[in-house]
Chains A and B, each alone.
Chain A
Amino acid sequence: MGTFFDALLKLWESSGFCQLFNFANGGWKNCIMIVIAFILLYLAIKKEFEPMLLLPIAFGMLLCNLPLAGIMDPQQNSLVPMTAEEVTHYLAGINDQVYPVFEMNGQYFWQHFEQGGVLWYLYQGVKFGIYPPLIFLGIGCMTDFGPLISNPKSLLLGAAAQLGIATTFLGAIALNGLGIEGVQFSFKEAASIGIIGGADGPTAIFLTSKLAPHLLGAIAVAAYSYMALVPIIQPPIMKLLTTKKERSIKMEQLRPVSKTQKILFPIFVTLICVLLLPDAASLVGMLMLGNLFKESGVVDRLSKTAQNDLMNIITIFLGTTVGATANAETFLQPKTLLIIMLGLLAFSFGTAGGVLCAKLMNLFSKKKVNPLIGSAGVSAVPMAARVSQKVGQQENPDNFLLMHAMGPNVAGVIGSAVAAGVLLTLFG
C-alpha cells in the first residue's frame, strides 16, 4: 500500500500541477500569468479585440506558463569531455554512444544535444526578424495606396502621427527620473516602447526583437490591445482638439489614380526609403513588394498567396511565439505595467499629432482638410480610418471621410516603418 502511495506522490511531484501550486517556489507567478492569458482569450473571443493576433498571443502565453511543458525551452548544445577509456574505444572504431564526437587540439568531446521546445524553433523567425517583414508583404498585397497617391499631403499626416513614438520614447526616459525601483529604461527599451505609438504590430515586434527582446511580450500585448481599443481611445481626443465646424468640413472628391502611378509608387517609395534608411529596407521593401504584386496585375497567384495563405501561416507563428515570450519572470515586472501605461500615451499623442497637423495644414491650404482624418495617421489599418468616418458622420451624416482617411492611414504604415528604421539606426 505504501509503495502505491509513494508512486502516486512521485507522479504528483513530477506533474505540472505540483509545480504550479508550489507557491513558495514561484508557482503563483505562473498562476497570475495563466489568469492574464485567460483574460486575453476572453477579450479576443468574446469581445473580438484583434482576435487574429490576440488569440494566438494569449494561447502562447498560456502554453509557456504551464510548468514543465518546456514548449519554449531553447535547444541545448554542450561539449562533454570524453574519458580516456572512451577515447580509446573511439579511436579503435568502437563508438556505442549516440552523440557525435568533436575533436579540438587533440582532445575529444561528446556533443550533447537537447532538443528545444517547438515554439522556441518557431520563435527564431521573430528573433531573426523574418516574420514581421513577411506580414508586411501580405499587408502590401492588401493595401490600396490610391487615396494616398491621390492626395500626397496625407503623407504629412502620417508623419505627424508618429509624434506618439517620440513622446512615448521621451516619457519612458523621463520615468527613469522618478526613481521607481526596478524601473530604469535604456534607450533601446525606450525606443521599443515608443514604437507602440506607431500602432503597427509587426513594426513594434520587429523593432523590439532587435532592440529589447526581453520586452517583446509586454510590448506586443500593449500594441495589439490598444489597436483593438482605437475606437474607444481616439474619438474623445479627436473631439477635444477640433471644433464642430472643423469636424463638419466636407472634402473634395479624390482624383482618379492611373495604373501607372500605382505601379510606380511602390518602386519609388522603396528607392527613396531604402536609400535614405537602409535599416528600414526589410519592412518598407517587403511592404512595397507586396503592393507591386497587387498593382502589377501580372502575378495574381503570388499576390493571393501572400495576402491569404502566407499571411495566415505567419500570423499563427508570430502570435503564438510572441505570446510565448511572456513568461512569468519577464512579464511580471513593474516595467510591464509602465509599458501598458506608456502605450496609451503613445496612441493618444499619435492621434493628437495627426489631428493638429491637419489643423495646421488648414492654415496654409486653400483646400480645407477635415482634421478628423489626421487621427488615421496612426496606422491601425483600417480601424483608425473607420473611426474618422464614424466621428465625421456624427457631425454631418452626409460627410464621407473614409477614403480620405485611408490616405493618412496607409501613410502611417510607411511612417511607422521609417520611424522604426530611424530608431534601429540610432540605437541598433
Chain B
Amino acid sequence: MNKKFHSSGLGVVTLVMIFAVLALTVFALLTLNTARAEQALAEKTALAVQNYYNADSKATILCATLQQELHDNPILHTFTWKDIEVQLTRDKRGIVGNYSCPVDSNQALAVRILFTTDHYRIEKWRVENNLSWENDQHLPVWIGE
C-alpha cells in the first residue's frame, strides 16, 4: 500500500512543466529571431532601393547637365560633376559619354550616352559590381595517386 503512494505521480507535473516551458521558450526565441531577421532584411532592402534611386537621380541630372555643356562647348573632352568624371569620346555617330555613379561601396550605376546633334540616346544604364573577383579553377578531385 505504501509503495502505491510513493509512485502516485510525484515529479510528473514538474517534468511536464519543464518540457512545456522549454518548448514555449524555444518557439518564442525562434519567432523573435525570425522577426528580427525579417526586419533587418526589410531595412536593408529599403536602403538599397534608396541608394539605387539616389545614384539614378545623379546620373539623370548629370545626363541633362552634360547635354547642356556639350551644347555650349562641343569640343569638350572630359567633364566633372560632383566628383563624377565623364569620359567623352567621339565616333562617327556622335559624342559618347561614359560615367558611373556610385550606388554603395560595392556597386555603381554605369552609364553610356550617345549625344548627336539634335537628341541623345541612352545606350547603357546598368548597375555593375565594383569588386574584382577571380574564378576558382582549382578542382580538388582524386586523380588516382
Q: Do A and B come from one complex?
A: no
